């Protein structure tokens, strides 16, 4: 690398250090060098669209300073210019938000190096504001999703001019061209943030939620009985549920199921509102379409389908007969997947907690059904098969034994 080349730490590492947060990964920008010089220094090239290199010892990514511009109207590609004459300020100008457009010299990786802040990102960090760096923000609709994700992570507000630009991008159809994989990637990250409700509130505030997740957007304004849901609005309830799932540290599968468990309520006929008869089955069909459209991973999709279909039954667990509980276990494949059934109960518990004034309520159905499942799984199907002369009768014998085990456990439970 030439002696006049300079290396800077940029982006999230600088931002998080200034916020006093743990730094997970470093992003490095090299100014004044070439690909040939990087390779000569032992860096391994890995970038296809622009020059990125792995450090020979740390294996962290080092990118040559570059500029980007949209290649043509309506086309999603970018023309990248990476050369020794690209300045640090030019590289920072292409970034999404001012809080991500701060650089730091490498003199002291622990925070002592000089800060370069041409777009006043430090001031926005202190004020808790997400503000776009330049008009080039509108060249990449993924940045709308990133704005929502950062709002969920940090609790920052969107600057008025940035929100206006996001709305303009939605109105101009930029969001319509988002690739399904990128939408799911950002949605999954948003759900895993500290307060995922902010992710969806931000998307809704600029009109993007109706484009990206119309099934969720349609829940807002739909009423449900105040007796059971003091918050009344189905959309607000959904946000309370996903926040409760985040507060309890539940995994992505549970959080996605929490988000989608009530989708069927958006399609309830108006003449029966605020009741939602049959919303469970309607929700199942909506989740299938959503999962196919966004290419949702199977584990997330399958748990969401179970939660949509059976959350009502699980809430009424104490009222269910042993025969019905066995059918529930069978439908949920609880015999082979008890850990997924436990996640299903987590979804239902967070559904119960996601109601105004009920955040700290007990959810005894969770422990109750786990105990019944343990009793049913304790039935020795192999022993029954051994002593059953009629092979065709074995499944029914096992089922009846499980029913009896559940009935006994219910009777024994105080």
pLDDT tens digits, 193-225? 999 999 999 999 999 999 999 999 999 999 999
Q: How far is the C-alpha of 220 from the C-alpha of 198, rounded, in Å? A: 15
Query: What is the Rg, in whole angstroms, of the alpha carbon atoms belonging to the chain?
Result: 27
pLDDT at 385: 81
- Mean pLDDT value across residues 315-340: 95
Q: What is the pLDDT of residues 42-52, one digit of tens each?
A: 999 986 666 88
Share of the chain above pLDDT 70, in %: 93
Which CATH fold would you assign to the domain 141-212? Answer: Hydrophobic Seed Protein (1.10.110)
Q: What DSSP string describes 84-146?
A: TT--HHHHHHTSSBGGG--EEETT-TTTTSPEE-TT-HHHHHHHTEE-BSSGGGGG-THHHHH
Architecture of domain 6-126: 2-Layer Sandwich (3.30)
SS (H, E, C) 171-204: HCCCHHHCCHHHHHHHHHHHHCCCCCHHHHHHHH
Of 34-48, 128-142, 155-169, 203-217, least confident by mean pLDDT is 34-48
User: Is 363:348 a contact under the CB 8 Å cutoff?
Assistant: yes
Mean pLDDT of 55-77: 73
The burial of 199, by beta-carbon neighbours within 10 Å (0-12 exposed, 13-18 middle, 19 or more buried), is given as buried
pLDDT computed for residue 136 by the predictor: 87
Which pLDDT belongs to residue 255? 98
Task: State residue 351's pLDDT score.
Answer: 97
Q: Which residue has the higher pLDDT, 287 or 387?
A: 287
Q: 3-class DSSP state for residue 263?
A: helix
According to the model, what pLDDT value does residue 256 have?
98
Q: Does 70 score more than 80 pLDDT?
A: no
Q: Where in the chain is the domain with CATH 1.10.110.30?
A: 141-212
Distance CA 326, CA 390 (A): 22
Residue 166 pLDDT > 80: yes
Residue in 59, 53, 49 with CA at minimum distance from that of residue 1: 53
What confidence score (pLDDT) does residue 382 get?
83
The pLDDT of 108-122, averaged and rounded, is 79
Range list for CATH 3.30.460.10 in the chain: 6-126
Q: How much is the pLDDT for 76?
A: 47
Decide if pLDDT at 72 tops 70: no
pTM comes to 0.90
Is a pLDDT exceeding 90 seen at residue 3? Answer: no
How confident is the model at residue 381, as a pLDDT? Answer: 83
* Average pLDDT of the residues in 282-296: 97
User: 79 falls in which pLDDT band (50, 70, 90)?
Assistant: low
pLDDT given at position 263: 98
Per-residue pLDDT at 1 exceeds 70:
no
Mean pLDDT over all residues of the chain?
A: 91
pLDDT of residue 229: 93
Query: In the prediction, which pLDDT does 190 show?
Result: 98
Model confidence at 249: pLDDT above 60: yes
pLDDT of residue 252: 98
Q: How much of the chain exceeds pLDDT 90, in percent? A: 74
């Amino acid at each position: 690398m030439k002696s006049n080349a300079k290396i800077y730490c940029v982006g999230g590492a600088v931002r998080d250090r200034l916020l006093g947060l743990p730094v997970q990964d470093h992003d490095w920008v090299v100014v004044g060098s070439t690909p040939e010089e990087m390779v000569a220094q032992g860096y391994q090239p890995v970038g296809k669209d622009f020059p990125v290199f792995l450090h020979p010892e740390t294996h962290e990514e080092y990118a040559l300073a570059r500029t980007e511009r949209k290649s043509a109207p309506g086309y999603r590609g970018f023309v990248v210019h990476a050369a020794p004459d690209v300045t640090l300020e030019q590289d920072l100008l292409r970034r999404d938000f001012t809080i991500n457009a701060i650089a730091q010299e490498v003199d002291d990786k622990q925070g002592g190096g000089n800060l370069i802040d041409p777009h006043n990102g430090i001031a926005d960090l202190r004020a808790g504001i997400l503000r776009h760096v330049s008009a080039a923000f509108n060249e990449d609709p993924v940045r709308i999703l990133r704005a929502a994700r950062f709002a969920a992570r940090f609790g920052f507000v969107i600057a008025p001019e940035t929100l206006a630009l996001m709305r303009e991008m939605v109105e101009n159809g930029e969001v319509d061209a988002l690739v399904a994989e990128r939408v799911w990637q950002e949605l999954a990250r948003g759900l895993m943030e500290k307060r995922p409700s902010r992710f969806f509130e931000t998307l809704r505030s600029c009109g993007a939620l109706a484009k990206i997740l119309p099934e969720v957007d349609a829940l807002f304004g739909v009423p449900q009985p105040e007796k059971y849901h003091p918050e009344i609005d189905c959309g607000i309830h959904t946000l309370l549920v996903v926040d409760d799932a985040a507060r309890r540290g539940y995994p992505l599968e549970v959080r996605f199921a929490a988000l989608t468990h009530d989708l069927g309520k958006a399609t309830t006929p108006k003449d029966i509102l605020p009741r939602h008869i049959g919303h469970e089955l309607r929700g199942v069909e909506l989740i299938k379409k959503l999962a196919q459209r966004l290419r949702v991973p199977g584990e997330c999709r399958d748990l969401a389908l179970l939660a949509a279909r059976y959350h009502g039954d699980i809430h009424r667990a104490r009222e269910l007969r042993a025969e019905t509980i066995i059918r529930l276990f069978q439908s949920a494949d609880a015999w082979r997947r008890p850990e997924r059934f436990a996640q299903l109960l987590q979804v239902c518990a967070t559904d119960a907690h996601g109601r105004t004034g009920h955040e700290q309520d007990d959810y005894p159905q969770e422990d109750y059904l786990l105990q019944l499942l343990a009793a049913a799984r304790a039935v020795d199907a192999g022993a029954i098969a051994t002593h059953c002369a009629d092979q065709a009768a074995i499944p029914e014998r096992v089922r009846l034994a499980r029913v009896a085990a559940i009935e006994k456990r219910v009777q024994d439970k105080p």
